[in-house]
Chain A
Amino acid sequence: MTRRALLSLISIALPASILAGLSVFIFSMTTFSSPSLVANTDILIPETVYISPSHYDYHPTELRLYDGRNIAAPPTNLLSAPLTIMKYQVSTNDYALCIAEGACGPVDKRADTSPNRPVTGVSFLDATAYAKWFSAKTGQVWRLPTDQEWVVAAAERYVGVETIDDNPDNPAERWLADYRDVKERSADIDPAPRPLGSFGENTHGIADMAGNVWEWTDTCYERLWVDAQGNVQNRLENCGVHVVAGRHTAYISAFIKDARSGGCSVGVPPANLGFRLVRAPTDGGPLTRLTQWLQGQRS
């Protein structure tokens, strides 16, 4: 073969083989896009939704104290970071795999463990154990969303809490207002867990947001001390208590699997405790970035 012919061959063969290799690679990435099912002991990557940076109204859960009294934190408009979140809550099937492999604790005795339901009766500790196991299993980094990330993902499904400032002369005013607010907000939803997808999808295409399962977040109980301008002067975190998110957010102790008798939260306790995970972006190199771009997971 002449040198010229060889060069021509290489100039065709090299891109061709790269393209072939790429398409095989892409093909292998796209097959794992259906909701996870227990087929055997192999874990399947669950379907995720990518949310590009967007503006949203954040209603903080944390308690704010100004001049010694609780004040309502005003919603702030924030720009979210890119977010990849599970389309469905972690299922009973998947959680059962974690238990079978000895990496997760049992669900609450009273929880419904029927297949293809969101796993419920799990504590924050259970959810983080699952995230750790799932990350090891998939070779990816999965974690609980923060309360802010959850609110971004929930979109119109998140309603939030209307609370009033403490009246320094009458602390009971806020207690009564909160009690009445909860009364109005608590619709009578049947607490029995339903098949994944039963509560429909929101505008992001994420299923079952703010249904009858309240989802653990990574965000700890926090108290802030602010000045007259709302600037934070001091903060104190208590990670023994975490934020759970649904139509509004609430605080529950980290070890609680069943919040029906109440937790640290005011008003109507969450019917069920469950969770879904967020995949933290891992820069796997140019090929991964290209793949993700092709899949619409990166902008």
Chain B
Amino acid sequence: MITRRNALLGTATAAIVLAGAGIFPSSAALASDVDIATLTREKVKLVAPPFVHEHTQATNEGPKVIEFEMIIEEKQLVIDDDGATIQAMTFNGSVPGPLMVVHEGDFVELTLINPETNTLQHNIDFHAATGALGGGELTLVNPGEQVVLRFQATRPGTFVYHCAPGGSMIPWHVVSGMNGAIMVLPREGLKDEKGNPVTYDKVYYVGEQDFYIPRDADGKYISYDSPGENYADMLEVMRTLTPTHEVFNGAVGALTGENALTSKVGETVLIVHSQANRDTRPHLIGGHGDLVWETGKFNNPPEKDLETWFIRGGSAGAALYTFLQPGIYAYVNHNLIEAVELGATAHFEVEGEWNDTLMTQVSAPAPIE
């Protein structure tokens, strides 16, 4: 007969065996053993993208309950240099919403607030969570309401979260900016394809967004006074499946010029890239992805030396790169029409010494001899 004691003993034995084989047991196996009330609580203040709140990479602390708070903000945003606007729906006022970082086995406890000033119902679906439509069923809030959801981060990786209030509202909210991502780090930090630990000096979160802005008879983008007013027009544009804008961090040029990303030769950067709705293919012009978790899930060994990686719509991936040359880099969606004409471009300003062996101009342009 299998008693509870036997079963638990069996699990424990298996865990020891696995631990002995160098593989940590997954938290899922120990889920029933965790008494959440005894866990340490940590409150984390979220930071606007492309920056990420402070966090440890490898940790020897046990699982915690990480408390987050997000306030839903419906607001008008200018999304290009011609002044085109959208009545955006945002988590914490930014498109994308902020990146959350926890460790595998942690519990994510989110207080989601829908202020009275908003006009719509909202909720949240965490791709990292299990059950209840990612939490959507348990988080629907009217203006004036708040809700608290807790889920266990059982799978390490980068995952999208987005608003999904039901039916046609789902795509409309998502393409109005209401999405973001969460990174669940393995407790021992990231590892390369051989299992050796790797760390990053810096992390950036690039959230890519497709917008579908209606145009008037003269071809000018229409400005609306509230989200509800744009719904019917926007739905028509959405159904063409062709965005009018494809941007990083909520607007054309948002990660360029004064807001360009920065690094230096020898620095290792992790770029987390999400697209909640539509496929994209990031590429660092002048660089590579040293280690890329294209699908974003850290239990899979990363791919190496990628020129361009594929982030399938509805997911987040992560790429690690150590800069080798100084200069200006463009980080783009390598559908170059989307990169240049629709806005999917970010810039890196990288300081440091030039490596002439890696590249040199043997002779400068001169008239043909």
Contacts and interface: CB of A to CB of B under 8 A. Distances in A.
B328 interface: yes
B115 interface: no
B210 to A, nearest CB: 18
B189 interface: no
Interface residues of A, number: 29
Interface stretch (A17-25, A136-144, A165-173, A280-288): A165-173
B364 A69 contact: yes
A176 B327 contact: yes
Given A65-B366, A179-B260, A271-B81, 14 more contacts: A65-B365, A109-B219, A169-B356, A170-B353, A171-B327, A172-B327, A172-B352, A176-B327, A176-B351, A183-B257, A183-B258, A190-B83, A223-B365, A225-B366
B143 interface: no
B301 interface: no
Interface in A224-272: 225, 234, 236, 260-262, 268, 271
Contact of A175 (B81, B83, B328, B353): B328
A65 B351 CA distance: 24
Give the interface size class of chain B.
Answer: 20 to 34
A169 B328 contact: no
A175 to B, nearest CB: 5
A268 B347 CA distance: 13
6 contacts: A110-B219, A175-B327, A176-B351, A183-B258, A236-B367, A268-B257
A79 B340 CA distance: 42
A71 to B, nearest CB: 11
Interface in A160-195: 169-173, 175-176, 179-180, 182-183, 186, 190-192
Contact of B361 (A68, A186, A223, A225): A68
B325 interface: yes
B352 to A, nearest CB: 8
Interface string B325-354: 111100000000000110000010111111
A284 B322 CA distance: 69
B364 A68 contact: yes
A170 to B, nearest CB: 4
Q: Sorted from nearest, which 9 A-B pairs have the closest CB atoms?
A: A172-B327, A68-B364, A172-B326, A170-B354, A175-B327, A183-B257, A261-B340, A179-B328, A175-B328
B116 interface: no
Interface of A: 65, 68-69, 109-110, 169-173, 175-176, 179-180, 182-183, 186, 190-192, 223, 225, 234, 236, 260-262, 268, 271
Contacts of B326: 170, 172-173, 176
B61 interface: no
Nearest to A179: B328
Contacts of A260: 81
B82 interface: yes
B325 A172 contact: yes
A186 to B, nearest CB: 7
A109 B219 CA distance: 8
A293 to B, nearest CB: 47
A87 B352 CA distance: 48
B353 A186 contact: no
Q: Which of B328, B350, B353 has the most CB of A within 10 A?
A: B328
B363 interface: yes
Nearest to A109: B219
Contacts of B82: 191-192
A262 B351 contact: no
Given A223-B365, A234-B367, A172 B83 contact: no
B95 to A, nearest CB: 20
A271 to B, nearest CB: 8
A261 B328 contact: no
